[in-house]
Each structure stands twice: as C-alpha cells, then as structure tokens.
C-alpha cells in the first residue's frame, strides 16, 4: 500500500472510546512512550486510540512487548529508509496479540486471525478506508508465519520483523544493540517462555486463555 502521512488526522473519524491522555496510560509504559518514535504518535488520533485500546485489552507483559515491537519496527524502517503508515503500524502492533486474551472460540487462523478481526472492527469504527484496513489486518493475520510473504506490504514486513526480534532475537544483527536498548527500561523477564506457552495453549484448546492467565 502507499504510505500515508504520519501527521495528526490520519485516523479518520473519531468514534468509539475517546483516547485517554498520555498521563493516564499505565506507568510501566512511560519509559517506552518517552522514546521519540512513540512520543510523536501520542497526538495522532489513530495512534492515541490504539494505545487506549491496548491499555484496556492487554496485560502488562503483552502491552510492553507490543510497544517494543513498534520501536524495533520503526528503528528498522529508519535504518532501511522505508516509508510506511506509522499510525497504522501502531494500531496493528497494539492489536496483534489481542487474540491471546479472554475466552472465545478461535477457529481457523487461530489467535492472529482473531486479533486481525478485532483490529478491523477498531479501524472500521474510525472510518479508516478499506485499502488501509486490508493492509493492516493482513499484517496482523500473518505475523506468526516464519517469514513474511514476498508480496507483503511495508507494515506487514515491519510488524513481522519487530515481533520476531523482540521475542526470539532474530534479526538482531541488523540492528545491533537496539533490542537491548528497548528492553532495558521496560523488561519482561521470561517473556518468550510465557508467550509461547500462551500460544501453545491457544493452539491446543483453540480458545484463548482465560482471565486467570492474563491478570495484570
């Protein structure tokens, strides 16, 4: 898809829950929100709304992982000179693991498909156009594949890169020291172990882990 402007107003009509002010977001997020790539998105309607929904839907460990994913993806884009939909990528990042929480049948496509459905609903409520929604929901739907498809758009490639780098360290040679830099102020010890356990539980039961396993 063609990259959209990064500035405010990129989220279309404002419907659904009103975004909360930055100071109302969880304290554990603040070291990462202070990083320029995220700080710039706090004034964007779509970015602010996505962060508000992430605070509502995700437990702390998954939320911190998501923020790190965005920062790693953005750093890789800057290193490569990649133009992309920055507020849209933040929305995709905010929702990419939402299918892992709560109780509901997942069906075919597992938690990434459910996450994509939740993202699509969020974007539709904000009157985001069809082409943009399709690109962002595809990015979420395909982020657990070992490698992104050859015809994936920039948002899908960046989300995939950020997820795999944060969880497994794959791609670290492309951004030496960056993973350590974004993890240090907001660490989630044993995150990879608990993350893959959560994914395995989803795959085995075809439902999302319940509230007891997602408590903050």
Q: What domains can be seen in the chain, in order of their start residue? A: 46-213 (1.10.3210)
Report yes or no: 197 and 209 within 8 Å, Cβ to Cβ. Answer: no
Q: What is the rounded CA–CA span in Å between residue 180 and residue 161?
A: 15
Per-residue pLDDT of the chain (216 residues; tens, 9 = 90+): 334 444 433 444 444 577 888 899 999 999 999 999 999 999 999 999 999 999 999 999 999 999 999 999 999 999 999 999 999 999 999 999 998 887 565 566 678 888 999 999 999 999 999 999 999 999 999 998 889 988 999 999 999 999 999 988 999 999 999 999 999 998 887 776 666 665 665 554 443 433 333 333
User: Tokens 């602010």 — which residue?
Assistant: 48
Which of 165, 143, 169, 145 lies closest to 156, judged by CA?
Answer: 143
- pTM of the entire predicted model: 0.82
From residue 41, alpha-carbon distances to 14, 56, 67 in Å are 16, 18, 12
**Tokens (6 digits) for 66:** 């998501």
**130 burial via Cβ count (<10 Å: 0-12, 13-18, 19+):** exposed
């Amino acid at each position: 898809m063609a990259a959209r402007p990064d500035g405010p107003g990129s989220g279309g009509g404002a419907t659904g829950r009103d975004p909360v002010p930055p100071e109302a977001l969880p304290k554990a997020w603040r070291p990462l929100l202070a990083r320029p790539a995220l700080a710039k998105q706090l004034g964007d309607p779509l970015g602010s709304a996505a962060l508000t929904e992430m605070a509502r839907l995700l437990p702390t460990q998954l939320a911190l992982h998501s923020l790190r994913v965005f920062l790693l993806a953005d750093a890789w884009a800057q290193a490569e000179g990649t133009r992309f939909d920055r507020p849209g990528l933040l929305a995709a990042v905010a929702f990419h693991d939402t299918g892992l929480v709560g109780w509901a049948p997942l069906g075919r496509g597992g938690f990434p498909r459910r996450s994509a459905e939740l993202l699509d609903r969020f974007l539709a409520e904000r009157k985001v156009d069809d082409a943009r929604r399709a690109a962002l929901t595809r990015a979420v739907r395909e982020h657990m594949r070992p490698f992104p498809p050859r015809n994936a758009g920039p948002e899908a490639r960046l989300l995939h890169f950020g997820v795999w780098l944060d969880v497994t360290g794959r791609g670290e040679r492309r951004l030496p020291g960056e993973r350590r830099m974004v993890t240090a102020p907001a660490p989630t010890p044993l995150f990879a172990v608990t993350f893959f356990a959560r994914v395995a539980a989803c795959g085995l039961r075809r439902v999302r882990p319940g509230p007891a396993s997602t408590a903050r």
